[in-house]
Amino acid sequence: MDDDFSNADDIDLDDGVYDDEDIDTLDDDIANDVEPDNDDEDDEEEEEEEISIIRGITGAKQDIISYNKVYDNYYSNKKITKPFITKYERAKILGVRSEMIASGAPPTVNVPKGITSSYEIAKLEFNAKRIPLLIRRHLPNGSFEDWRLEDLIIN
């Protein structure tokens, strides 16, 4: 019977007698949701592994850079991809801009009186190529290209 409960070293299950110290320890473990057999090293390794997985999913590095640096890179780099907007880029840019307008961002085009939908306003801006966002295309070699909407051909 001791083999089945090897994790409970301090408690003698055969005689059914528990010390007050054993009960307090178990109560603390239950209250803190702690398993008695976990080692601190195992927990740290699992935490580091979870953090590395999360970084892999969300992107390992996010920096805040000035728009001057972005535009310096934009004008100095030669483009590899074709200047056609994809349906996925169109959907993403319309959705993001629609959220911006719904959150209070001013439209960049004159909006007719009958239009109140933020998505319709975003479509007007898209057709006029006036959306103030850059499209970042990630390339297979790990680099990326930034495109302005006015530089892309819309079908």
pLDDT in tens, 58-102: 555 567 777 788 888 888 878 999 999 999 999 999 999 999 999
Shared-domain flag, residues 78 and 32: no
Shared-domain flag, residues 71 and 58: no
Q: Which of 14, 39, 62 is the last residue of a domain?
A: 62
pLDDT higher than 90, residue 46: no
pLDDT higher than 50, residue 42: yes
Tally of CB atoms within 10 A around 97: 25
Shared-domain flag, residues 49 and 116: no
Which CATH number is 121's domain given? 3.90.940.10
Q: Which of 39, 62, 85 is the last residue of a domain?
A: 62
Buried b (16+ CB within 10 A) or exposed e, 106-124: ebbeeeeeeeeebeebbbb
Shared-domain flag, residues 75 and 127: yes
Shared-domain flag, residues 147 and 71: yes
The amino acid occupying position 56 is: G
Higher-pLDDT residue of 133 and 35 is 133
Shared-domain flag, residues 147 and 72: yes
How far is residue 116 from each of residues 82, 107, 122, measured CA to CA in Å? Answer: 34, 12, 11
Phi, psi for residue 121 in degrees, rounded to 5: -65, -40
pLDDT higher than 90, residue 106: yes
Confidence label for 152 from pLDDT (cuts 50, 70 and 90): very high
Q: Which of 16, 43, 62 is the last residue of a domain?
A: 62
| Block residue for tokens 């994809």 | 86
